A and B are shown apart, each in its own frame.
Chain A
Amino acid sequence: MSVAPPLLAVEGLTKSYGGIHAVRGVSFSLRAGEILALIGPNGAGKSTCFDMLNGQNKPDTGHVRLLGEEITGRKPREVWRLGVGRTFQITATFATMTVRENVQVALISHGKQLFNLFGSAPKFDRGEAGRLLELVGMGGYADRPCGELAYGDLKRLELAVALANQPKLLLMDEPTAGMAPRERVDLMRLTASIAREKSIGVLFTEHDMDVVFEHADRIIVLNRGTLIAEGTPAEVRGNPQVQAVYLGEGLVYDARHREGAST
């Protein structure tokens, strides 16, 4: 009896820089439509891990499989063609082009029209570009130069761009970093609703625990390059090891501080 392979399967991913083991033997999997949060303190190896998933960085050992197909070590552009969208911690957009043109470039690439020399790009999939922008709530900004946008809007534009190839999997590296609290909640709600509706798997890293615990179906915790916990938000919240990693010294300090204050 064969079981359908998971959307994303990561197995024994390892990467070191010189003597530093940034990521050590990380394994996890992700189902379609599932929202998985990858958390951990600064320097835990989240970004390294993330970059290895879509080929931005090559692992020393380990495997990344998309629907059973080996994608380890493939180039980012090849991984994208297989249906993996990505947003960056520091947004990467086309600053001198308009918001609509940013989405159109992704659509042109998806439609394999990159070497079309004489077609009209302004008219290219204009409707689809508009729909994607409406979807992320950027419909009113279509003609604005991208360089003028506020940071939160750039993040939403990146989401629209990442959705242009109808991805199966979305990789979002700190999607709400640098946003106001209200915007964070909005963006993650939006992402979650799109993911559930279209059955897209989402993997995101995040520092804001409110965002993580509210939106993630499942959480994996990374510390010093190794996976230390995995489970539902409730399970992870109750895990003493996770508490130690996140709050460890802080609690002790807090207690002493109170003692000092009372005497």
Chain B
Amino acid sequence: MAFYVVQFLTGLASAASLFLVASGLSIIFGVTRIVNFAHGAFYMIGAYIAFTLTERLSGAFGFWGGIVLAAIAVALIGVLVEMVLLRRIYHAPELFQLLATFGLTLMVEDLVVLIWGPDDLVGRRAPGFKGAIDFFGQNIPSYDLFLIVLGPVVLGILWLLFQRTRWGVLVRAATQDRDMVAALGVNQKWLFTSVFAVGVFLAALGGALQIPRDAVHHAMDLRIIVEVFVVVVIGGLGSIVGAFVAAVLVSELNAFGILIFPKISIILVFLVMAVVLIVRPWGLFGKPEAPARKTPGLTVNPWRPLTQNERLMALAALVIAATLPLFAGNYALTVGSEIAIFVIFAVSLHFLMSVGGLASFGHAAYFGLGAYGVAFLAKMAGLPMIVCLLLGPLLGCMGAAVFGFFAVQLSGVYFAMLTLAFAQIVWSIAFQWVSVTGGDNGILGVWPEKWAASPSHFYWLALGVATLVTIALRAMVFSPFGYALRATRDSLLRTEAIGINAKRIQWTAFVIAGTTAGIGGALFAYLKGSVFPDNLGISLSVDALVMVLLGGVETVSGAVIGAIVYKALNIWLVSQTDLSKLVLGGFIMLIVVVFPKGIVGMLEMLAQRRRKASPPGSPLLAKPIESAE
């Protein structure tokens, strides 16, 4: 019995940090409508800075002072980020905000290693809370008891802050209607900045308070952000009480889940999240999200199938690509195969994200499931390659069918967070279930059969499949289903009013996209000859998002171009520098802020401008006007 009580108390102690970080995320979202992906990064920096400060400053005052100072320092960094980066993208679509803050996360991961080194750092014990308390023969660290008390105290302070101060009233008002608050003459800029600072402070404090419990390391940001996303999905975005209750719930589930499913404890959290989503899709304490105000003046060029000339051009490009083995070496062909596979991956996400308006932040899950599907079939069942290639993607299909069912109940940022959480769950399973997946060691020796073994043959195979997939998905964009899918993206109200079951359309699209990604993953397993948990990791999911974004979210063919350019750049970059995350993160932020239409979008815009600038028949007339400007 005592054991269970201790387990329960440990869960409560873990909930404290989780609550701090989740409430910060919730407050920021409530006012700015930005889901701050970098929140985990702030948590991590908080821990690192607190580590350094508590090492330098001595005594009890040095320790507690160091913790608070670290949180304040990170809050100041947050202010800087808000003013330099976020202010530029408040009116951008949610996807861009998530991506920009993700770019920031990537940069922080490399910077942290650069400054503090790659090793785990073990921090000082908290003065006054060094020992453990005996509880019927079980030990409870006294620091855990401190954390258990801290959680409700912070909740109380936040409540007072929001109910009793002028600033709190403004924040609550802005959470309900920020445009109205701005119209009432409140300086919105500073309100947003201060809210962001408070949110980041909470995240950093959560990180700093962890150092007596856990080692500080450079991957702690992703771990916490996924848990935080789960917490806010369960508790309801924007609700601080919800964040508290859900943080306790998730921490307890983790604490007891280990006892029930020692290998895959995360399953329990997932099940609870699934139940909550079915019963209350907006979370336990959240409110149903009102439809977002559409950005005024949104005009997208109507999509059209390729003209005859464009088809010929695409065919010519394909023929040139097919002749690559005639003059390129083996390394170039392997790179070519990888690019072709990533074209498959990118077009599959594009179908979901651009056509269906569902920006998945965990698309790699289905890519990776396809890869694992092939590995299982080839290694365990010993099936021939063709059969593996055909059946392997079905694992991606099944994963997409299960997760997609829950994911499409939500939209916008909730959808993004949920898909990310699902992907992380799949990753954890691959990582933890060593007896089946090989864990971190992966599954090795998945080599193609003779007919596809040479680099040129494999390249042709990959190119051929990529071409088929691209054509098929493109045909679907202009099929009745594709129209219905675009319709659900534009107006759910209208689709329901004309007899369309929007959720089923979106679910179908999710399954199609997941299966297609699985095809890419299946080929990838054979290309690399092995499968690792990284094949379904977050960074791969973000690669896909960046490829679509780089090509142009609002275009039909952007994904193909984006995948080719991005993958080529990426492979080159990794071979050139150790700090690829830093460069990549900066690159993502640059696209979002400066280049939001992507390559194809820019080309379309230029072509349109040229058409408008020179009306047929009067090129001479246009010139003097131009020079007059």
Nearest-Cβ distance from residue B233 to partner chain A, whole angstroms: 25
Q: What is the CA–CA distance of A76 and B495 in the complex, to the nearest angstrom?
A: 10
B487 neighbours in A (Cβ, 8 Å): 94, 97, 105
Assuming the A-B contacts A118-B475, A145-B300, A148-B299, are A113 and B480 also in contact, with contact meaning beta carbons closer than 8 angstroms in the complex? Answer: yes
Q: Does B493 contact A (CB under 8 A)?
A: yes
Chain B 476-509 per-residue mask, 1 if CB under 8 angstroms from chain A, else 0: 1011111110110111011111111100010010
Point out the residues of chain A lying under 8 angstroms from B476, CB to CB: 117-118
Closest Cβ of chain A to B418, distance in Å, is 24
| Given A93-B491, A143-B302, A147-B298: A120 in contact with B498 (beta carbons within 8 A) | no
Name the A residues within 8 Å of B482 (CB-CB).
121
In the assembled complex, A238 has its CB within 8 A of some CB on chain B: no
Are B508 and A80 in contact (CB-based, < 8 A)?
no
Q: How far is the CB of B525 from chain A (nearest CB, A)?
A: 27
What residues of chain B lie closer than 8 Å to A92, measured between beta carbons?
491, 493-494, 497
Task: Say if the beta carbon of A109 comes within 8 Å of chain B.
Answer: yes
Closest-by-CB residue of B relative to A106 is B498
Other-chain contact of B302, A80, A81, A105, A145 (Cβ < 8 Å): A145
| Residue among A86, A92, A104 facing the most chain B CB atoms (10 A cut-off) | A92
- CB-CB contacts of B275-306 with A at 8 A, as 1s and 0s? 00000000000000000001000111110110
A122 to B475, CA, bound (A): 11
Contact check, A96 vs B300: say whether CB atoms are below 8 A apart: yes
**For the complex, would chain B's binding face be called helix, strand, loop or mixed by DSSP majority?**
helix
Residues of chain A lying within 8 A (CB to CB) of residue B486: 94, 96-97
How many residues from B make CB contacts under 8 Å with A?
34
B480 touching A119 by the CB < 8 A rule? yes
Contact of B294 among A75, A76, A95, A104 (CB under 8 A): A95
Decide: A76 and B497 in contact? CB cutoff 8 A.
yes
A77 interfacial contact with B, CB 8 Å: yes
Residues of B within 8 A of A115 (CB): 480-481, 508
Report the bound CA distance from A109 to B481 in whole Å.
10
Contacts of A110 in B (CB 8 A): 498-499
Q: Cβ of A101 and Cβ of B302 under 8 Å apart?
A: yes
Please report the C-alpha to C-alpha distance between residue A106 and residue B304 in the assembled complex, in whole angstroms. 19
Report which of A105, A113, A122, A143 forms a contact with B498, defined as CB distance below 8 A: A105
Cβ-neighbour of B496 out of A77, A95, A119, A145 (below 8 A)? A77
A98 touches B483 (CB 8 A): no
Task: Find the residue from A113, A115, A116, A117 having the highest chain B CB count within 10 A.
Answer: A117
Contacts of B490 in A (CB 8 A): 93-97
A114 interface hit (Cβ, 8 Å): yes
How far is it, in angstroms, between the C-alpha of A122 and the C-alpha of B304 when the chains are bound? 9
Query: Cβ of B491 and Cβ of A95 under 8 Å apart?
Result: yes
**In the complex with contacts A105-B484, A110-B499, A116-B494 CB distance below 8 A:** no
Partner of B499, one of A97, A98, A109, A147: A109
Within residues 151 to 196 of chain A, which ones have a CB less than 8 A from any CB in chain B? 161, 164-165
- Per-position binary interface string of chain B over residues 342-368, scored 1 when its CB falls under 8 Å from any chain A CB and 0 otherwise: 000000000000000000000000000
* CB–CB B478/A98 < 8 A: no
Q: CB-CB < 8 A to B304: which residues of A? A: 122
A122: nearest chain-B partner, CB-CB: B478
Q: Decide if B300 touches A75 in the complex (CB within 8 Å).
A: no
Point out the residues of chain A lying under 8 angstroms from B491, CB to CB. Answer: 92-95
CB distance from A62 to the nearest CB of B (A): 21
Q: Are B498 and A117 in contact (CB under 8 A)?
A: no
Question: Which of B301, B302, B482: most chain A CB closer than 10 A?
Answer: B302
For A161, list chain B residues within 8 Å (CB). 494, 498
Does residue A213 face the partner (Cβ distance < 8 Å to B)?
no
Which residues of chain B in 490-538 are interfacial with respect to chain A, using CB atoms and an 8 Å cutoff?
A: 490-491, 493-501, 505, 508, 512
Known: A98-B302, A109-B484, A121-B483. A114 touches B498 (CB 8 A): no
User: Does the CB pair B493–A120 fall under 8 Å?
Assistant: no
Residue among A114, A118, A143, A148 making CB contact with B484, cutoff 8 Å? A114
Residues of A within 8 A of B498 (CB): 77, 80, 105-106, 109-110, 161, 164-165
| Beta-carbon contacts under 8 Å, A113-135 to B | 113-122, 124
B497 touches A86 (CB 8 A): yes
Q: Is A141 an interface residue (CB 8 A)?
A: no
Q: Is the CB of B301 within 8 A of A117?
A: no
Cβ distance A71 to chain B, nearest Cβ, rounded Å: 14
**Contacting A121 at CB < 8 Å: which of B298, B478, B493?**
B478
Within 8 Å by CB of A114, from B299, B478, B481, lies B481
Q: Tell me which residues across on chain B come within 8 A of A88, comparing CB atoms.
A: 493-494, 497
A47 interfacial by beta-carbon distance below 8 Å: no
Q: How far is the CB of B558 from chain A (nearest CB, A)?
A: 15
> Would A101 and B483 count as touching, CB distance under 8 A?
yes
Interface residue? A108 (CB, 8 A) = yes
Whether the Cβ atoms of B299 and A77 lie closer than 8 Å is no
A119-B484 in contact (CB<8A): no
In whole angstroms, how far apart are the Cα atoms of A27 and B109 in the complex?
65
Chain B residues contacting A114 (CB-CB under 8 Å) are 480-481, 484, 500-501, 505
Contacts of A117 in B (CB 8 A): 475-476, 479, 481, 512
Inter-chain CA distance A104–B302, complex, in Å, is: 14
Residue numbers of B with Cβ under 8 A of A are 294, 298-302, 304-305, 475-476, 478-484, 486-487, 489-491, 493-501, 505, 508, 512
18 contacts across the A-B interface (CB closer than 8 A): A77-B498, A86-B497, A88-B497, A92-B491, A92-B493, A94-B494, A96-B302, A96-B490, A105-B483, A106-B498, A115-B481, A117-B512, A118-B479, A124-B483, A145-B302, A147-B298, A147-B299, A148-B299
In the complex, besides A105-B498, A121-B478, 19 extra interface pairs with C-beta distance below 8 angstroms are A54-B497, A77-B496, A77-B498, A92-B491, A93-B490, A94-B486, A95-B300, A95-B490, A97-B486, A97-B487, A101-B483, A108-B483, A109-B499, A116-B479, A117-B475, A145-B299, A147-B300, A161-B494, A161-B498
Query: Which 9 pairs of residues, A with B, have the shortest CB-CB distance?
Result: A94-B490, A92-B494, A80-B499, A116-B480, A96-B300, A113-B480, A108-B480, A121-B483, A92-B493
